Structure 1
Amino acid sequence: MPEVMFAGPDGRLEGRYHHAKQANAPVALVLHPHPLHGGTMNNRIVHALYQRFQAMGFSTLRFNFRGVGRSQGRYDGGIGEISDAAAALDFLQAVNPNASSLWVAGYSFGSYVGMQLLMRRPEMSGFISISPPASHYDFGFLAPCPCNGLMLHGADDELVPESSVRKLVEKLNTQKGISIDYRVMPAAGHIFTPPQADQVADAAEDHINVTLNRKRISLAAD
Structure 2
Amino acid sequence: MSQNQLIEGPVGKLEVKVEEPDNPAPGGAVAVLCHPHPLHGGTLTNKVVHILAATMNRLGATTVRFNFRGVGRSQGEFDNMIGELDDLRAVVEWVREQYPGAPLWLGGFSFGAQVALKMHAQVGAERLLVAAPPLSLYGTDDLPGIAIPWLVIQGSEDEVIDAARVRDWVARQTDNPPRLIWLDGASHFFHGRLNEVREAVIEEWPALSPAATAQGRGTRDE
Alignment of 1:53-68 (within 5 A): 53-68=56-71
CA–CA distance in structure 1, aligned partners of residues 141 and 210 of structure 2: 30
Alpha-carbon contact 1:15-1:63 (below 8 Å) kept: yes
Alignment match, 2:189 = 191
Task: Tell me the amino acid that sits aligned with residue 188 of structure 1.
Answer: A
Q: Which residue is 2:172 aligned to? A: 171
TM-score normalised per structure 1: 0.88
The aligned residue for residue 109 of structure 1 is: 111
**52, 55, 78: which one aligns with 1:49:** 52
2:9 maps to which residue?
8
Q: Distance in 2 between matches of 1:95 and 1:143?
A: 27
One-letter identity of the residue aligned with 1:104: L
Q: Kindly state the Cα deviation for residue 107 of structure 1 after the two structures are TM-superposed.
A: 0.4
Q: Which residue of 2 aligns with 1:96?
A: 99
| 1:135-174 to 2 correspondences below 5 Å | 135-173=136-174
Q: Identify the residue that residue 179 of structure 2 maps to in structure 1.
A: 181
- Counterparts of residues 124-135 of structure 1 (less than 5 Å): 124-135=125-136
The answer to whether the aligner puts 1:206 opposite 2:196 as a matched pair is: no
Post-superposition Cα deviations, 1:145-164, rounded to whole Å, max 9, x if no partner, equal: 23231111111111212111
The Cα shift of 1:171 comes to 2.1
1:40 aligns with 2:38: no
Q: Provide, for residues 111-168 of structure 1, a one-character-per-residue CA deviation record: whole Å limited to 9, x for no partner.
A: 00011111312x3111110000010012223342232311111111112121110121
Query: Aligned-pair distance for 1:172?
Result: 2.0
2:77 paired residue among 74, 77, 80:
74
Shift in Å, 1:53? 1.1
Partner of 2:218: none
User: In the alignment, what sits opposite 1:218?
Assistant: none
Give, as a single letter, the amino acid of the residue that structure 1 aligns with 2:121. Answer: M
1:79-109 CA-partner distances (Å, limit 9, x unpaired): 111110111111111111121x211110000
Displacement of 1:214 after TM fit? 4.8
User: How high is the sequence identity, in percent, across the aligned residues?
Assistant: 32
> Which residue is 1:119 aligned to?
121
CA distance in 2, matches of 1:74, 1:196: 32
The gaps in structure 2 that reach 5 residues or longer are: 213-222
8 Å CA contact retained: 1:119, 1:142: no
CA deviation after TM superposition for structure 1 residue 6, in Å: 0.8
- Code of the residue aligned with 1:196 in structure 2: it is R
How many correspondences in the alignment? 209
Q: Secondary structure at the match of 2:13?
A: strand
Pair 1:146–1:213, CA change in 2 (3 A): closer
Please say if residues 24 and 96 of structure 1, whose CA atoms lie closer than 8 Å, have aligned partners that are also in contact.
Answer: no
